[in-house]
Amino acid sequence: MLTYFEFIQEYFPALLKGTVVTLEQTALGILVAVLVAVTMASMKMAPFFAIRWFGIAYIEVFRGTSLLVQMYWIFFVLPLFGITLEKFTAGFLAVGLNLGAYGAELVRGGIQAVPRGQYEAAVALGFSPFTRMRRIIFPQALLKMLPPWGNLLIELLKATALVALISVTDLMFMSKQINSTTFMSAQAFGTALIIYYIIARLIVTPGMRGLENRLARKLSIG
């Protein structure tokens, strides 16, 4: 039986490789989630019923059903309709599309939390709807929505563990492999837990807080 120190020495390279893949899945998942969130929030607030309906339907479907089932759909079912994706792509896409639905509600909430007077002042000054959103409303909304986005991104990081189930070689996948060859379950999954925690606490949370501080300084609201 290996000591934990020897275990780490032996499997460090494999775990590191998995961690890198997890970070890649997280980063790309965030990118998709942000794009989806902004798009769907805009659609849900659009003046046209059909567009609004699409935004509402998207958010309902992706929030209301299981991420794992969505991922299986993207990876196993879409090929039946002629759309075949790499497992790596299917992984972060599923995570991003799912968490983006939650993000859309955060975006919408942030925008609606900007006081009505800000809209009216911008209207009175003749801003077009797009410029009004870009220059006046969104910067203020962004500051309001960053703290809940910090939570969401930690959820997203943890949700990427599911991509191991379609054989993306992430941290979870590597831990499972090590477990099945060594049967050192506590060490394998314990190390994975610690690494997820470290990424969340030492990268995601401080990153979001830094972003928040920088934005608050730049926007000088406080």
Whole-number Å distance between alpha carbons of 184 and 115: 56
Give the nearer residue to other proteins in terms of CB position, either 59 or 141. Answer: 141
Minimum distance from residue 180 beta carbon to other proteins (Å): 54
Is 70 exposed, middle or buried (CB count within 10 Å of its CB: 0-12, 13-18, 19+)? buried
Residues 6+ apart with CB under 8 A from 92: 24, 25, 28, 29, 32, 160, 163
Minimum distance from residue 73 beta carbon to other proteins (Å): 41
Whole-number Å distance between alpha carbons of 198 and 38: 29
Place of tokens 């775990």: 15
Task: Kindly indicate which of the ranges 110-118, 156-164, 166-174, 198-206 contains the residues binding other proteins, using the contact rule CB under 8 A.
Answer: 110-118
Give the nearer residue to other proteins in terms of CB position, either 139 or 148. Answer: 139
Helix axes 171-182, 185-199, angle to 10 degrees: 170
Asked whether position 3 contacts other proteins by CB under 8 A, the answer is no
Give the nearer residue to other proteins in terms of CB position, either 47 or 82. Answer: 47
Q: Give me 110's structure tokens.
A: 């942030």
Task: Kindly indicate which of the ranges 32-40, 60-68, 122-130, 147-155 contains the residues binding other proteins, using the contact rule CB under 8 A.
Answer: 122-130
Asked whether position 131 contacts other proteins by CB under 8 A, the answer is yes
Q: Which of 166, 164, 190 is nearest to 177 (CA)?
A: 164
Asked whether position 220 contacts other proteins by CB under 8 A, the answer is yes
Minimum distance from residue 150 beta carbon to other proteins (Å): 20
Binding site for other proteins (CB under 8 A): 115, 117-118, 120-121, 123-128, 131, 135-136, 139-140, 218-222
